[in-house]
Structure 1
Amino acid sequence: MELQANAALIIIDQQQGILEPRLGRRNNPQAEERILDLLGFWRRNARPVVHVQHLSHSPDSVFWPQQSGVEFQQRFLPQDGEWLIQKRVPDAFCGTGLEARLNEAGIWQLIIVGVATHNSVESTARAAGNLGFDAWVVEDACFTFDKADYFGTLRTAEEVHGMSLGNLQGEYATVVSAKQILAAG
């Protein structure tokens, strides 16, 4: 794999609310450390960083704008010169102007990390692939939660994560590890 000099790191929904215990059991306990590894690398090399913040329509959401859960975690606060994209749905491209900004900047390679794998990460990666971007999803820099499938069978976070990555691999994105991305940089 070849990492472009202007590849954008897209960090999805690293907000305080994602740490809420009520969201349930999660996988990839080291995901935030992998995200920070990538973020440090991007910042040291002056590559573009895009912070995506979810502003929910639902007062029951951990990302409802009227409470602290909507705020970025301290360790993921955007720095000067980094982009902030605020979204109202899982897909970071829908209604946000992200596609136009990336096109304007001549960025076509996207490294996608964050939460939740089966929700905003998958939705954003699908859109990126459909829009013609070279999308890479970093499997160990994403996580999700235990979730019941359509038929009511509880699936572990690992199963949900694996299925989501399987949905993306090859058709919408390329799934890689943080180590692979850092080695390619």
Structure 2
Amino acid sequence: MRTTLAAVGTAAALALGGLAVAAANPLAVAGAQDPAPATDEAPPPARPDRQGPLERALDGLVADGTITQEQADAVRDATRAEAEAGREERRDRWQARLDEHLGPVADLLGTTPEAVREALRQGTSLADQAEAAGVERQALADLLAQQITDRIDQAEADGTIDADMAAKAREHVDDAVDRLLDAAPGQGGGWRGRGPGFGFRPGD
């Protein structure tokens, strides 16, 4: 039973994709669980006792005269710039994916994906957003259920999950929808800390 629930949770999370991320932790969408976005301030100098391999290698090359300090700094700057470009690219991909999933929800609520995401970040669940917009909970539930079911079907067709896992995931669509509707991640509720399995953890 525990293994079944864990598999169902994983399959449902996989099927839901970016929308689950939005409800579970909308702040993660910006960086897709990457380190916090860089600010305009220059990163602090590396502490000698916490230097990574690159820092140690550059310091060694400077020490033995292979390169100058200016050259070492240029390598550090280029490495940081490349890392930031990668983070921005991942943020853009997650943003596009999130908007794809939140788009239909936002349309139903008469708002935008950005507004839905910001409300989640502030701790307003999808159910509360629907109520404020004068949209019946069941209408939003039906939309979410269809989104989840479509993604389960697609995951099965792609071979990402097998038929047995897909069938079990479909059995728990209603439960997954309820969790999505009532999650208020900005206030520490919902799935914060539960991971991607809709509360089903391996061994449960």
- TM above 0.5, yes or no, is no
Q: TM-score normalized by structure 2?
A: 0.25
Relative contact order: is structure 1 or structure 2 higher (C-alpha 8 Å, sep ≥ 6)?
Answer: 2
Higher helix share: 2
Higher strand share: 1
